[in-house]
Homo-oligomer: A and B are copies of this chain.
Amino acid sequence: MKHYSYPALLTFTKETLQKIGCPEKDAETAADVLLSADLRGVDSHGVARLSGYVRLWEVNRLNTNPRPKVVHETPSTAVVDGDGGLGLVVGPFAMQVAMDKAKNAGTGWVAVRNSNHYGIAGYHSMKALAKDMIGISLTNASPLVSPTFSKERLLGTNPISVAIPAQEQPPFVLDMATTTAANGKLEILMRKGEEAPSGWLQDKEGKPSTNPFGVKEGGALLPLGGDRVHGSHKGYGLSAVVDIFSAVLSGANYGPWVPPFVAFLEPHPHPVGEGLGHFFGAMRVDAFRPAVEFKENMDTWIKRFREAKPTDGQERVLIPGDPERELEAERKEKGIPLLPAVVEDLEKLAKKLGVEWLSGN
């Protein structure tokens, strides 16, 4: 696989977004969010999605020059209308509102409607860290997941991210889909021609399946847990909470009404809200106890868990955020590997929009 330098991909993404009408500052923000996925190893949510966003714009489902605004608020809450913009732009706007609220009220909680896909959840939650705040980021997404006992797909992979600052230790950053496995992992198996583990998906008849093409063929990803005996009702419940906080609190579309990311699928003809929804939270740690005291205890927490005796054959116990942080450092230095199919797609996009494509190595 060829590697591409992070700053070069950043510039390419920014220029591409400007070509479809994003103002420079928005294009810069959006590129930063999108590329953070590639840096952190969530390749399915990074630059590989760029042409998908462009296609949404082509079918008039994306406002590339939105004016997101607060449409309702209390001292600790707000609802943001994203004006049909890129979640990559609306998300950072709304997270900033949450942090501003937290400054005054101790915490800030912002539900967003009329938005679009916002990249990786962890980008937004991590914005809180530099302010000594805990960041929380949730979003709903295209319906690809079946609740426990359901043949129908009613939920997205609806991620949860929580970022918590420490003192000497790197921060604790949880960023997880509420499914057993993310869609990106199925794509890897499809390419390799390998079977999926049990508990990842069901076929279109609602039967447990290990065929990685199952979801493409009308089946569904399964909630974390996989089946009832292994707690899938819990993964379903968490995914439902993400959906309700993101969309029922904000007035966005929820459940099966969430507009699909792919432009070739039509949005639901009778929407129950506007666009898709996100939910952001920011809690000042010193709204609870002195920040240094909190962060020193986080250091103790992190060190104790990191030093736990590993099971046989394992090197170490990981802290949430460890693998992504390590990969980020590596990819900033060595570049971002892109699959040949992704490169081909981006080359075509560059040609179509008149942006210069890069040379990898």
Residues of A within 8 A of B (CB): 72, 74-77, 79, 104-107, 109, 111, 147-152, 154, 160, 162, 164, 172, 174, 176-181, 197, 199, 202, 205-207, 224-226, 229-231, 233-238, 240-241, 243-244, 248-251, 254-256, 272-273, 283-285, 287-289, 293-294, 297-298, 300-301, 304-305, 308-312, 314, 316-318, 320
A180 near B289 (CB under 8 angstroms)?
no
Return the contact of A287 from the options B77, B106, B199 (Cβ within 8 A): B77
In the complex, chain B residues whose CB is within 8 Å of the CB of A285: 249
Report the copy number of this chain in the oligomer: 2
Of chain B, the residue at the smallest CB distance from A313 is B149
Q: A147 CA to B174 CA in the complex, in Å?
A: 14
Give the 9 A-B residue pairs with the shortest CB-CB distance, closest first.
A74-B106, A206-B311, A77-B106, A174-B237, A76-B76, A77-B287, A149-B314, A151-B309, A150-B308
Q: Which of B152, B237, B297, B311 contacts A207 (CB 8 A)?
A: B311
B residues near A294, Cβ cutoff 8 Å: 248-249
Q: Which of B75, B205, B249, B312 contacts A75 (CB 8 A)?
A: B75
Tell me the minimal C-beta distance from A74 to chain B in angstroms. Answer: 3
